[in-house]
Amino acid sequence: MGTLTGKTAVVTGSTSGIGLAYARAMAKAGANIVLNGMGKPEDIEKERAAIEADFKVKAVHSPADMTKPAEIAAMVALGETTFGSVDVLVNNAGIQYVAPVEEFPIEKWDAIIAINLSSAFHGIRAAVPGMKKRGWGRIINTASAHSLVASPFKSAYVSAKHGIAGLTKTVALEVATHKITCNCISPGYVWTPLVEKQIPDTMKTRNMTKEQVINDVMLDAQPTKQFVTVEQVAALAVFLCSDDASQITGANLSMDGGWTAA
Ligand code: NAD
């Protein structure tokens, strides 16, 4: 029996990167999975089928767009109707855009606030009634080191991630007596395909070696000079679903190689 056998986890933004690692780790722990996110249908189907084959659980994909509240509610409803419950909600979908505040495109601000912050509110709003009814739930939000500190040119992202930290604490207080916990995980730089793909270009434009790009550009702020792995983030999320973690709630758990200690 895994930590999550018989339970269902909805993971937003799980067609790639950290979200996919959460989904696979929760499936390994026994949960049925609602995948969500963008991508080529054949790639999504491959990941969905792999989860079922590798971990002997069921997985469905919800195409819900995290900018659309009604679609987010439908994603939670899909989990409830397909598997009977949504016990774990992982709010993870996120995008980034970098520009000086006075030039920041308004539509990029709106999209980042919608996807990185408001979608978590809509998901929580839809999932909490079922969790309360069953008397158990785990809400895990992917925040970021940027929920604690800022970097220039990331006004929308830093605002959304600080918002996620506040939403996490508020929800934790509201559901505390229902055996529902709500926490956020704040990674530093995580080795995802997105990050990996940036290395060759940066090597060219800055005339640097791969090691220089990693240490002097990407990991400048990260004292360990190592990336966090998606598996490490996912392992913390699975721990948060365990009984041993039942008294961890309202927490903002850093996994950033010491970034925010400095
Ligand atoms: P990623 O780009 O690999 O994955 C993002 C996921 O979100 C994808 O599945 C994508 O399809 C989905 N998505 C984007 N827009 C969507 C929308 N409108 N509706 C539904 N799904 C949508 O990125 P990642 O690095 O795995 O990031 C995941 C989360 O982790 C984000 O919230 C990000 O802010 C956070 N984070 C990442 C890092 C890092 O270094 N990679 C560090 C700290 C926090």
Q: Which residues belong to the active site?
A: 157
Tell me the average pLDDT across 203-217: 90
Cβ(67) – ligand 1 distance below 6 Å: yes
Please report, for the chain, the start and end positions of each structural domain, with discontinuous segments joined by +: 8-188+229-252, 189-227
Q: Which atom of ligand 1 is nearest to the CA of 227?
A: 40
Q: How confident is the model at residue 87 (pLDDT cuts 50, 70, 90)?
A: very high
pLDDT at 166: 99
Please state the atom number of ligand 1 nearest to the C-alpha of residue 161. Answer: 34
Residue nearest to atom 1 of ligand 1 (CA): 17
**Mean pLDDT of all residues belonging to the chain:** 96
Q: What is the pLDDT of residue 197?
A: 82
pTM beyond 0.85: the answer is yes
- Measured CA to CA, the distance from residue 128 to residue 169 in angstroms comes to 15
Burial (CB < 10 A; 0-12, 13-18, 19+), residue 128, is buried
Ligand 1 nearest atom to the CA of residue 193, by list position: 3
Q: What percentage of the chain reaches a pLDDT higher than 90?
A: 91
The pLDDT value recorded for residue 94 is 96
User: What is the pLDDT at residue 88?
Assistant: 99
Which residue in this structure is represented by tokens 């992202």?
A: 157
Q: How remote is the CA of residue 47 from the centroid of ligand 1, in Å?
A: 16
Which of 95, 98, 108, 218 has most ligand 1 atoms within 8 Å of CB, for mutation? 95
- At residue 191, the pLDDT reads 92
Q: What is the pLDDT of residues 31-59, one digit of tens each?
A: 999 999 999 999 999 999 999 999 999 99
Work out the average pLDDT over 120-146: 98
CATH class of domain segment(s) 8-188+229-252:
alpha beta
Cα(190) to ligand 1 centroid in Å equals: 11
Name which of 61, 45, 69 is nearest 11 in CA terms. Answer: 61
The alpha carbon of 133 and the centre of ligand 1 are apart by a number of angstroms equal to 30
How far apart are the C-alpha atoms of 76 and 73, rounded to whole Å? Answer: 5
Exposure letters 180-200 (e unless 16+ CB within 10 A, then b): bbbbbbbbbbbbbeeeeeeee
Q: Has residue 195 got a pLDDT over 90? A: no
